[in-house]
Amino acid sequence: MVAATTRSAAAAPASGPAARKPLYKVLYVQVLTAIVLGAIVGWLWPDFAKNDWIKAMGDGFVKLIKMVIAPIIFCTVVSGIAHISEVRKVGRVAVKALVYFEIVSTFALLLGLIVGNVLHPGAGFSGKADAGAVATYAKQASEMKSVDFVLHIIPDSVVGAFAQGEILQVLLFSILFGFSLMALGERGAPVRTFIDDVAHAMFGVIALIVKAAPIGAFGAMAYTIGRYGPQALGNLAGLIATFYLTAAAFVLLVLGTIAWFAGFSIIKYLRYIKDELLIVLGTSSSESALPQLMEKLERLGCSKPVVGLVVPTGYSFNLDGTNIYMTLATLFIAQALGVSLTFGEQMTILIVAMLTSKGASGITGAGFITLAGTLAAVRPELVPGMAIVLGIDKFMSECRALTNICGNGVAAIVVSAWEGELDRNKLAAALNQDVDPSDLREAVTTG
């Protein structure tokens, strides 16, 4: 009797607000501290910060995360589709997601154009453009073709897609495999159970890897500041500040309005994913938080099929931060070089950017490459001006990644609500912090 009472008392906190961990055990506090320490080390001891081993801390953590992205996407998508009884539902979710992506991406592009025209961040800039500095990016951009992008979605081999971590290729195979497993009916039950178990095991691996997030964030931030230095900001600080403020306005106003219509608070949502945002800030890669984001969205009440389809697809088709960057940076470069763009040319930029932003997913420096592709298509004489922003692209990429991950998370919630498969009780409990969103181990053991 006493033992039963003790167990009941111990279990009671689970139904109320989550028990608070000591601050030094909280992941986002650890990551934030590591980012600050990394910036200080990079600033005061730049030679030490540029050491290959310091750089390897950040690169190693990102590689650890990327190591498990392909199997997690495969397990999540296959499991989600295999548990659906009708094929039409998968197609319906995909169509809704793509429509949502295009609408929100257009808002992002328009916001960049509006801010660039109102604030004129490039006016009076005295920088010099060096065509040679951006030759590699311009060459890659000129080689991008729509047909190549479509063909690239089809892997040469399934093993190759997993080995190279090609998200869209893995997603395509996962969808096909999921439909095949769905068609097997009861005969496919053992395979579905096995894949579900593998998914839980993979999230267990993620729970272990994220413990190294502070080390990765320290190394990445120390190397970035040591390599580029505070002076890299210089008279480009205005562009950086404009971009960060524009991205913040997009998240709070555009995504905030969408969230309000969907029935949740964008502020509470950002607080819910603060661990992932800080990991992205430290590593400058939105992929470094993709597995944790997918797990948290499921715990937030989103259905597994929606998360499995929307989030990986969004990493190629819903790049809100990249879209803002392309239009804003294009106007900055034009203003810096004294080139006047007509309204028609700016509308052409919007259309071209909408296409080029889909063609460079998975490429290192994708944001910079898509910018080169947009400039080359609209006003080729602006391409050399990319050298002006080349030195600060590392700082811009962090904001692009942060905005992208915010947009993809909101997309999954909205499409789940659109499908009528959003658990409002889970959503309220998680956003009100009645459960601990940082404890991935709990999700693995109880899922």
For residues 344 and 399, is the Cβ–Cβ distance under 8 A? Answer: no
Least Cα distance to 331 among 321, 346, 344 occurs for: 346
CB count within 10 Å of CB 226 equals 23
Q: What is the DSSP letter of 254?
A: I
Least Cα distance to 168 among 77, 304, 67, 293 occurs for: 77
Grouping H, G, I as helix, E, B as strand and the rest as coil, residue 252 is: helix
CATH architecture of the domain 22-446 equals Orthogonal Bundle (1.10)
DSSP calls for 369-400: HHHHHHHHHH-GGGGGGGHHHHTTHHHHHHHH
DSSP calls for 352-373: HHHHHTTT-TTSTTHHHHHHHH
For residues 437 and 419, give the distance between their C-alpha atoms in angstroms, rounded to a whole number: 24
pLDDT at position 90, please? Answer: 74
CB count within 10 Å of CB 326 equals 31
For residues 282 and 213, is the Cβ–Cβ distance under 8 A? Answer: yes
343-356 helix and 320-336 helix, angle to the nearest 10 degrees:
140
pLDDT at position 3, please? Answer: 42
Least Cα distance to 115 among 256, 239, 259, 254 occurs for: 239
- pLDDT tens digit sequence for 160-189: 888 887 777 887 888 889 888 888 878 888
For residues 375 and 353, give the distance between their C-alpha atoms in angstroms, rounded to a whole number: 9
Residue type, position 115, single letter: V
- pLDDT tens digit sequence for 70-94: 888 788 778 777 766 666 777 788 8
Q: What is the DSSP letter of 16?
A: S
pLDDT at position 443, please? Answer: 45
Integer CA distances (angstroms), 283 to 152, 163, 315, 333, in order: 27, 22, 16, 27
First-to-last alpha carbon distance for the chain, in angstroms, is 30
Q: Which residues contact 73 (CB under 8 A, 6 or more apart)?
A: 167, 170, 171, 174, 308, 312
For residues 422 and 307, is the Cβ–Cβ distance under 8 A? Answer: no
In 181-226, which ranges are E strands?
none
For residues 282 and 277, give the distance between their C-alpha atoms in angstroms, rounded to a whole number: 9
Q: Which residues contact 176 (CB under 8 A, 6 or more apart)?
A: none
pLDDT at position 437, please? Answer: 56
pLDDT at position 245, please? Answer: 92
For residues 112 and 371, is the Cβ–Cβ distance under 8 A? Answer: no
For residues 354 and 52, give the distance between their C-alpha atoms in angstroms, rounded to a whole number: 37
CA 114 from chain centre, in angstroms, equals: 24
Q: What is the DSSP letter of 434?
A: S
For residues 323 and 343, give the distance between their C-alpha atoms in angstroms, rounded to a whole number: 18
pLDDT at position 442, please? Answer: 46
Least Cα distance to 300 among 424, 417, 427, 409 occurs for: 427
Q: What is the DSSP letter of 255?
A: I
pLDDT at position 7, please? Answer: 37
CB count within 10 Å of CB 405 equals 27
For residues 135 and 367, give the distance between their C-alpha atoms in angstroms, rounded to a whole number: 15
Mean pLDDT, the chain cut into blocks of 10 residues (447 residues total): 39 46 72 83 85 83 79 80 69 84 91 90 59 48 58 83 80 85 83 86 82 84 74 64 91 95 93 88 74 88 86 81 88 82 83 65 54 71 71 74 90 92 90 65 44
390 burial type by CB count under 10 A (0-12 exposed, 13-18 middle, 19+ buried): middle
Domain spans, the chain: 22-446
